[in-house]
Amino acid sequence: MSHSLSEKDALMDLLMQEKEIMKVYGSFLPEGSTAEIRGLMSNNLKMIEMLQFELFNRMQQKGYYQVQSAKKQDVQQTISNFE
């Protein structure tokens, strides 16, 4: 008996994998012992981040990933916390 994933399930699986890959690169990046290795990991992390965001946007457009709107004040507070 074969089980096939729906498009939504397949995209969600990919999204979760991208998030996990980002965690791995984020963990190992500070451990890079040369500028070349750190640069490579940093570039790979940026590429994965871009792919993850494209996937997120695709899922959101299809209605597969619902995001609750944040209040402008909450967004500004979060930005302030990271500046």
Decide: pTM greater than 0.75.
Answer: no
pLDDT digits (tens, 9 = 90+) for 9-59: 999 999 999 999 999 999 999 999 999 999 999 999 999 999 999 999 999
Mean pLDDT across the chain: 91
Domain boundaries, the chain: 7-82
How many whole angstroms separate alpha carbon 49 and alpha carbon 29?
14
Where does residue 38 rank: exposed (0-12), middle (13-18), buried (19+ CB within 10 A)?
Answer: middle
